[in-house]
Amino acid sequence: MGEFRMPSLGADMETGRLVEWLVLPGESVKRGDIVATVETQKGLFEIESFEDGIMGEPLVPAGTEVSVGTVLALILPERTATVAESGTTVSPAAAVTMASPLPLTATPEVSVTPAQPPAQPQRITASPSARRLAAELAIDLAAIRGTGPHGVIQRGDVEQAAQARDAMPRTTDSAQPATAGSIHPGMRQAIAAAMSRSNREIPHYYLETEIDLSRPLQWLEAENRQRSIRERILPVVLLVKAVAKALRDVPELNGYWLDNQLQIQPDIHIGFAVALREGGLIAPALHGVDQLSLPALMAAIGDLIDRTRTGRLRGSEMTDATISVTNLGDRGARTVFGVIYPPQVALVAFGRIMERPWAEGGMLGVRRCVTATLAADHRATDGHCGSQFLEALNRHLQQPEGL
């Protein structure tokens, strides 16, 4: 019997609000299935099951704020049938009811008419992004008919409802919708708490290097000429993939500092910093980056950014990152000094790609360059290890055909 608990979706998370159960008691769940949605200071997240089984009765009702680690429900072993003590065969759903932690009352031996179950309030099923958009636009989900599977309300349904409402004549100024675009409540506090902990607990050291991107960018431009506009690869994909390759050469920077020791991780899951349109920053994980081709990584980054900004992230994407990468290539910052997100032990930051003077072989020219900065945990590594990583990063970028 497994326990489905309130997950920790970041080092700064202490509590979370269980927004909605997406699986009914008695239903079969597989590892990776979305079971519930949880809201934190950083937004709304889809939480998946980490084992196979039959969903038990909820121990915590939707709408409850609970601490990280609280048992939300039990996941029972999956069986085709369960034999009760009396020898009667019952279905898995009935077995879940029998295993319910709620007290059972005695059933009368004789009843004249079957009791009618009390009317239950209608359960509104909607995707996390639809709920978030409805809250921003002050749309009542109960008034929307969902077009998704099993009547689930989707983001498009909310957008249509908003358009229909806005097209109606307004009688008073008070009918104006809530203003969208404001930062999620508590987002800044959550970011500040995480960064304060990082600065307080982690002895940072910083290393910086200048990387000539002339050759990799020329190679990328030639590759993109063979692709359609939708299939073109952005320069950031080269940077992220090179980070993953360099981590294979210097694995000490790919891991966590836990129990006063470095725990190097075998898989490379890069936390990719995404700026939210309403303000704030989230760094969900790109899984197995070293195993992805450049086109697959481009698609993964696009998908991750879209789901981050529409509130469709999974809980595992907030907890699996083994290192973080932040990129301000489309902004004006030349150099970025990042803050490590615990329990990770490193963060790689890239500034703006710019034309700069470059001396090589006694000749001075102009090259397209980027400044790469490494922030690392001095408890786990030192400057020698960090320098090896930056050297490997540059080496892989100079061989773009091998990325």
User: Which pLDDT score is estimated for 277?
Assistant: 73
The pLDDT score that the predictor gives to residue 105 is 37
Residues 347 and 300 in one domain: yes
Counting DSSP H helices and E strands in the chain, the numbers are: 8, 22
Residues 134 and 236 grouped into a single domain: no
Ranges of residues in the chain whose predicted pLDDT is under 70: 11-12, 79-123, 128-129, 132, 136, 148-150, 163, 165-188, 278
> What is the domain extent for residue 149?
128-166
Q: Are residues 154 and 247 in the same domain?
A: no
Tell how strand 53-58 and strand 274-275 pair up: unpaired
CA–CA dist 70, 143 (Å, integer) = 33
Phi-psi label, residue 396: left if phi above 0, alpha if psi -120 to 50, beta otherwise: alpha
Same domain, 380 and 249: yes
- Tokens standing for 339? 């803050």
Q: pLDDT value at position 317?
A: 87
* pLDDT value of position 149: 60
Parallel, antiparallel, or unpaired for β 53-58 and 28-29?
antiparallel
pLDDT value of position 178 = 36
Final residue of a structural domain among 166, 181, 215 = 166
Maximum CA extent, the chain:
102
What one-letter code names the amino acid at 295?
P
Helix (H, G, I), strand (E, B) or coil at 7: coil
Domain co-membership, 44 together with 158: no
- Structure confidence at residue 150 (pLDDT): 64
- CATH number of the domain enclosing 69: 2.40.50.100
User: Does residue 134 belong to any structural domain of this protein?
Assistant: yes
Count other Cβ atoms within 10 Å, centred on residue 355: 10
Cβ distance 65 to 28 under 8 Å? no
CATH assignment at residue 133: 4.10.320.10
Residue 195 counted as domain residue: no
For residue 169, give the amino acid letter.
Answer: P
End-to-end CA distance of the chain: 44
- Residue 23: the pLDDT is 87
Helices assigned H by DSSP within 202-346? 214-224, 235-249, 294-309
CA distances from 168 to 136, 153, 163, 165, 319 (A): 19, 22, 9, 5, 44
Is 56 a domain residue? yes
346 and 222 in a common domain: yes
160 and 67, same structural domain? no
Q: Which tokens hold the place of 160? A: 């249509």
Residue 108 forms part of a structural domain: no
What's residue 131's pLDDT?
76
For residues 212 and 154, state if they share a domain: no
Q: How far is CA 322 from CA 204, 267, 298, in A?
A: 17, 8, 19
Closest-CA residue to 48 (of 80, 75, 13, 78): 75
Per-residue confidence (pLDDT) for residue 166, from 0 to 100: 59
Residues 6+ apart with CB under 8 A from 50: 2, 31
What CATH number does the domain containing 330 carry? 3.30.559.10
Rounded to whole angstroms, the Cα distance separating 329 from 172 reads: 46
Residue 212 forms part of a structural domain: yes
Would residue 296 count as lying in a domain?
A: yes
On the 0-12 / 13-18 / 19+ scale of CB atoms within 10 A, 391 is middle
Q: How many domains does the chain divide into?
A: 3
What integer pLDDT is reported at residue 86 of this predicted model? 44
| Residue 326 maps to a domain | yes
Please report the pLDDT score of residue 139 as a whole number: 78
Q: Are 322 and 266 within one domain?
A: yes
Contacts of 241 (CB under 8 A, 6+ apart): 289, 290, 292, 294, 297, 396, 403
The pLDDT score that the predictor gives to residue 83 is 43
| Residues 222/378, Cβ–Cβ less than 8 Å | no
The verdict on 267 and 377 lying in the same domain is yes
Regarding whether 90 and 132 lie in a shared domain, the answer is no
pTM value? 0.69
Residue pLDDT, tens place only, 2-11: 888 888 887 6
80 shares its domain with 209? no
* Last residue in a domain, options 166, 191, 220: 166
Contacts of 152 (CB under 8 A, 6+ apart): 125, 126, 127, 146
147 phi and psi, to 5 degrees? -110, 0
Query: Does any domain span residue 102?
Result: no
